[in-house]
């Protein structure tokens, strides 16, 4: 199979500051997360060839799409990019099927209509193929835009704030559909968002952007367990994110048992089937540290672990502690007094205590 790794280096001082350097492999979902005006959309437009930074190297596998040093610039129509714009950018005079067909010019004319029908079926819109954009809901227009992006048979799929124009319930359904769809695609997917729920539900990797500058990047679980990123505390709150599997439901107790790399945790039952893969987030403020497992508490989760790092922010009155529970890294925010009293330092053995109700489970 051809290499489809997306490699991007973008740098310029003005008019839009940029300083980013990242890769995204097949099957990965890289979320570019940051506040409005931080340059997120400009990065996507640079990948697609819709914007030309002062310095750019953009490669899809071995194909060079941009290389300012080598004076290479492939125009947008020569790049195998599927782009879902925030405003959808659908042709208002065409039906849903017609909008998808416009992206199938590389296919023989006789195949285009049937291929468009297949793509609309894939995004659950086959019954609305004959409707025009104004006859569709926001979520339905977004799915037409996604089908059109897939029609190009892209080597890279770019999503620019894909859920910004829909309400929370529709957002959840679209997230589920895109997550299911991306598992069938063997291409890099780059998602721009300022909503951390999108990151939590879809991303495998995360790039944190502020003012056009890359603050950090890496696997989502690794980045979210770092204690030295105060930007995250201000933006979404510090908290660990990791994957788990539903191992058992206890309907009588109203709990679900999840297995993760650190052992077993109990969370409120969310009617998840056994064997379901889920993502777990534990806010750092909800983790209590103890020198031993205390008896007689209402909480269900108490794991032995080893302190692996501490970070004291000079501007804050607390310390962020990273504790290894098996192969999973948790974060806890504690007072400076607690650090002194419990003698918290790298290598110290402690218990991490977490209430079941404090655990966010996304399935």
- Domain residue ranges in the chain: 6-226, 239-362
Backbone angles phi, psi at 41, to 5 degrees: -65, -35
Provide the pLDDT for residue 31: 96
DSSP single-letter state for residue 166: S
Provide the pLDDT for residue 1: 47
Whose CA is closest to 58, among 40, 75, 35, 37?
Answer: 75
Q: Are 236 and 196 in contact (CB under 8 A)?
A: yes
Q: Which residues contact 109 (CB under 8 A, 6 or more apart)?
A: none
Whose CA is closest to 101, among 142, 140, 150, 139?
Answer: 150
Helix and strand totals (H; E) in the chain = 9, 21
56: enclosing H helix or E strand: strand 55-60
Correct CATH for 6-226 of 3.30.70.20, 3.40.50.300, 3.40.50.2300, 1.20.950.20? 3.40.50.300
Domain 239-362: give its CATH architecture.
Beta Barrel (2.40)
Does residue 177 sit in helix, strand or coil? Answer: helix
Provide the pLDDT for residue 132: 95
Structure tokens at 3: 């290499």
State the Cα torsion 333-335-341-344 to the nearest 10°: 30
Provide the pLDDT for residue 2: 59
CA distance linking residue 241 with residue 199, whole number of Å: 11
pTM, entire model? 0.90
Whose CA is closest to 44, among 54, 35, 31, 55?
Answer: 31
User: Which residues of 211-317 form beta strands (DSSP E)?
Assistant: 213-219, 239-250, 255-260, 263-268, 277-283, 287-290, 301-312
Provide the pLDDT for residue 314: 73
Whose CA is closest to 205, among 186, 193, 221?
Answer: 221
Q: Render each residue's pLDDT in the chain as its tens digit; 363 residues.
A: 457 899 999 999 999 999 999 999 999 999 999 888 899 999 999 999 999 999 999 999 999 999 999 999 999 999 999 999 877 789 999 999 999 999 998 999 999 999 999 999 988 899 999 999 999 988 899 889 999 999 999 999 999 988 876 777 778 888 888 888 888 888 999 999 988 989 999 999 999 999 999 999 999 999 999 999 888 888 888 999 999 999 999 888 889 999 999 999 999 988 888 999 999 999 999 999 999 988 888 788 999 999 999 999 777 788 999 999 999 999 999 999 999 999 999 999 999 999 999 999 987
User: Which residues of 291-359 form beta strands (DSSP E)?
Assistant: 301-312, 318-325, 328-335, 349-354
């Amino acid at each position: 199979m051809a290499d489809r790794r997306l490699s991007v280096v973008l740098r310029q001082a003005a008019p839009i500051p940029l300083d980013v350097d990242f890769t995204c492999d097949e099957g990965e979902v890289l979320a570019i997360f940051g506040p409005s005006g931080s340059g997120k959309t400009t990065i996507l437009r640079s990948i697609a060839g819709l914007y030309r930074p002062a310095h750019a190297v953009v490669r899809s596998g071995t194909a060079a799409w941009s290389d300012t040093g080598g004076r290479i610039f492939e125009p947008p129509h020569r790049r195998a990019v599927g782009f879902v714009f925030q405003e959808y950018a659908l042709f208002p005079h065409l039906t849903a099927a017609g909008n998808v067909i416009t992206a199938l010019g590389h296919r023989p004319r006789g195949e285009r209509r049937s291929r468009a029908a297949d793509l609309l079926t894939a995004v659950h819109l086959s019954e609305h193929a004959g409707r025009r954009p104004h006859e569709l809901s926001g979520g339905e227009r977004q799915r037409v835009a996604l089908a059109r992006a897939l029609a190009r048979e892209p080597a890279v799929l770019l999503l620019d704030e894909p859920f910004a124009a829909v309400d929370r319930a529709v957002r959840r359904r679209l997230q589920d559909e895109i997550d299911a769809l991306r598992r069938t695609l063997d291409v890099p997917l780059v998602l721009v968002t300022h909503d951390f729920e999108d990151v939590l539900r879809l991303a495998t990797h995360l790039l944190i952007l502020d003012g056009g500058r890359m603050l950090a990047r890496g696997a989502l679980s690794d980045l979210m367990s770092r204690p030295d990123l105060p930007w995250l505390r201000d933006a979404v709150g510090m908290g660990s994110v990791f994957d788990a599997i539903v191992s058992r439901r206890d309907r009588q107790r109203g709990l679900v048992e999840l297995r993760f790399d650190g052992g077993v945790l109990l969370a409120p039952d969310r009617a998840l089937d056994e064997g379901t893969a889920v993502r777990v987030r534990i806010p750092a403020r909800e983790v209590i540290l103890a020198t031993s497992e205390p008896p007689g508490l209402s909480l269900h989760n108490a794991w032995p672990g080893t302190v692996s790092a501490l970070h004291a922010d000079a501007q804050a009155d607390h310390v962020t502690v990273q504790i290894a529970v098996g192969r999973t890294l948790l974060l806890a925010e504690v007072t400076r007094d607690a650090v002194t009293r419990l003698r918290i330092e790298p290598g110290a053995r402690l218990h991490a205590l977490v209430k079941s109700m404090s655990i966010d489970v996304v399935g």
